[in-house]
Amino acid sequence: MIYSLTRNRISQGQSAISGMHFCEPMRIKGFTLIEVLLVAILLGIVAVLSLPNFVVLQRGSVLKNKAMECAGLFREAQNLALTRSAVFRLVADSDGAVWGIEAAVDPTDLSHTAYKKIPGKTWPVFDTAAKLEVQTQGFPVVFFSDGRISPAEISLCQETACYLLSTKEERAQITVSQWTKE
């Protein structure tokens, strides 16, 4: 049988030895320890180089989230004023960390001097860990039943990046703009 197999290969123009596997070393597939260490070192270098950019990106997102959260509070107070046909105001505690919405006690009183807190409408907006500079003008902000908002500006800054929330330009809208201080 071996002879005929060899004879067939020879007759087809192949050598008898070319198709036989005598003692080829077995090849194990995988990575060597050096290859794994090189990849780990390269990943470590990439991580160290990208970490400062990630920190800056994370800080910017905290500032933007706080600005959007404040704008959301403005919109909620305005929606309450419109849907309940009453006067509301957005107030802050003495250090500006906790904000709340209050309703006018007597909606027919045009001076709107007496307000009461609305249960469940108080939020901790700024924590000390964020290290944000908050400046306000025209606070507390009054929201009227016809959709108007008293003129106010709130600037939120962290290092050189700032957001400005304003109701001064359009009396029924809250504008949020980003700027950089020098």
DSSP string, 43-95: HHHHHHHHHHHHHHHHHHHHHHHHHHHHHHHHHHHHHHHHHHTS-EEEEE-TT
H or E, element range at 9:
helix 2-11
Q: How confident is the model at residue 3 (pLDDT cuts 50, 70, 90)?
A: very low
Higher-scoring residue by pLDDT: 79, 181: 79
Q: Give the pLDDT band (50/70/90) at residue 122.
A: confident
pLDDT at 25: 66
Report which of 137, 124, 134, 140 is spatially closest to residue 63, judged by C-alpha positions: 134
Least confident of 21-35, 50-64, 91-105, 121-135: 121-135
Residue 50 banded pLDDT, cuts 50, 70, 90: confident
Q: How far is CA 129 from CA 19, 62, 96, 98, 125, in A?
A: 74, 11, 14, 14, 12
The greatest distance separating any two alpha carbons of the chain, rounded to the nearest whole angstrom, comes to 116
Predicted local distance difference test score (pLDDT) of residue 44: 93
pLDDT at 140 over 70: yes
Would you state the pLDDT for residue 2? Answer: 47
Taking residues 156-172, what's their average pLDDT? Answer: 81
% of the chain surpassing 90 pLDDT: 9
Residue 1 has pLDDT above 60, yes or no: no
pLDDT tens for each residue of 73-91: 888 889 999 998 888 988 8
| Domain made up of 37-180: CATH architecture | 3-Layer(bab) Sandwich (3.55)
CA distance 130 to 155: 15
- Cβ atoms of 88 and 102 closer than 8 Å: yes
At residue 113, the pLDDT reads 76
